[in-house]
Amino acid sequence: MVRRAIVSDIHGNLEALKTVLADIRAQGCTQILCLGDIVGYGPEPNACIDIARTFDSTIIGNHDLAALFDPEGFSNTAEQAILWTRKQLESGDTPENCYARLDFIANLPRTRREGTVMFVHGSVRNPINEYVFPEDIYNNRKMEKLFSMVQRICFQGHTHVPGVFTADMSFRRPEEIGYKFDLGQEKVMVNVGSVGQPRDGDWRSCYVILEDNTIHFRRVEYDVDVTIQKIYDIPDLDNSLGDRLRDGR
Ligand SMILES: [Fe+2]
């Protein structure tokens, strides 16, 4: 019985990532998949990339892409963080390590497919950039289009709001379903939440364990004050990026 961890949206939050990795090991997972946004917003992009390089599979996210190329469509705060992140990627410890990190990000795929199971950062339609929010269940056109493109299961991230979208246009939050969902033949889109910047009102890191046909949502407490202080100490990272971590928003 293989237990696989699916993580997403680490966003340079090393404290959160280290704590989640300890939980993943304690849970007996033997594989780690990452749905992108290793960097952006957070204070330790290089260290997070070095850890992500040890994962079994990683997909590119919009912040990873923006850190390498031109940021487009981001808020001022996010763009400033992206430009700072790029500086870190380009001026890390040694030229060899910098090159290896940039090379790793530049070669990440946009999607991963395993039979009828898809892995993306955003959505099945637009893997890098499209958000699928809980309130989109009221947007029939959008949801019908997305579900028509899902073969059976689509694991995604990007919104930092964990939960399960079902084809009958409902969204189940982890706490409503006992942090557990059984996968059947019905189509679902599963948002695995965010390790480094949760936005569902719960500050704890979130990730998913996939075991046979059951998914478990895990919430993990980490030392959020350490990350907040690191953000405060970097002038290019707006203090609000630290403050939001405490509230999970
Ligand atoms: Fe993200």
Quickly count: other Cβ atoms within 10 Å of residue 209's Cβ: 20
C-alpha 231 to ligand 1 mean position (Å): 17
C-alpha 151 to ligand 1 mean position (Å): 24
Q: What is the mean pLDDT of residues 85-98?
A: 94
**Position 182 pLDDT exceeds 80:** yes
pLDDT for 107-162, tens place per residue?
999 999 999 999 999 999 999 999 999 999 999 999 999 999 999 999 999 999 99
C-alpha 122 to ligand 1 mean position (Å): 9
C-alpha 43 to ligand 1 mean position (Å): 14
pTM attached to this predicted model: 0.97
Asked if residues 46 and 196 have their Cβ atoms less than 8 Å apart, the reply is no
C-alpha 160 to ligand 1 mean position (Å): 6
Q: What is the mean pLDDT of residues 22-28?
A: 98
pLDDT at 20: 98
C-alpha 63 to ligand 1 mean position (Å): 7
d(CA 14, CA 109): 23
C-alpha 76 to ligand 1 mean position (Å): 16
pLDDT at 137: 98
Q: What is the mean pLDDT of residues 82-105?
A: 95
C-alpha 15 to ligand 1 mean position (Å): 17
Q: Which two tokens stand for residue 208?
A: 């998913």
* C-alpha neighbours within 13 Å on the C-beta side of residue 159: 20
**Position 220 pLDDT exceeds 90:** yes
pLDDT at 81: 94
C-alpha 64 to ligand 1 mean position (Å): 9
C-alpha 9 to ligand 1 mean position (Å): 5
Average pLDDT over the chain, rounded to an integer: 97
| Domains of the chain with bracketed CATH | 3-247 (3.60.21.10)
Q: Percentage of the chain with pLDDT > 70?
A: 100
Which of 167, 173, 171 has its CA nearest to residue 202? 173
At residue 156, the 3 state secondary structure works out as strand
C-alpha 8 to ligand 1 mean position (Å): 8
C-alpha 198 to ligand 1 mean position (Å): 9
C-alpha 19 to ligand 1 mean position (Å): 19
**Residue 1 — pLDDT band, cuts 50, 70, 90?**
confident
C-alpha 120 to ligand 1 mean position (Å): 12
C-alpha 85 to ligand 1 mean position (Å): 14
pLDDT for 46-85, tens place per residue?
999 999 999 999 999 999 999 999 888 899 999 999 999 9
C-alpha 1 to ligand 1 mean position (Å): 30
pLDDT at 61: 98
Asked if residues 7 and 20 have their Cβ atoms less than 8 Å apart, the reply is yes
C-alpha 61 to ligand 1 mean position (Å): 7
C-alpha 37 to ligand 1 mean position (Å): 5
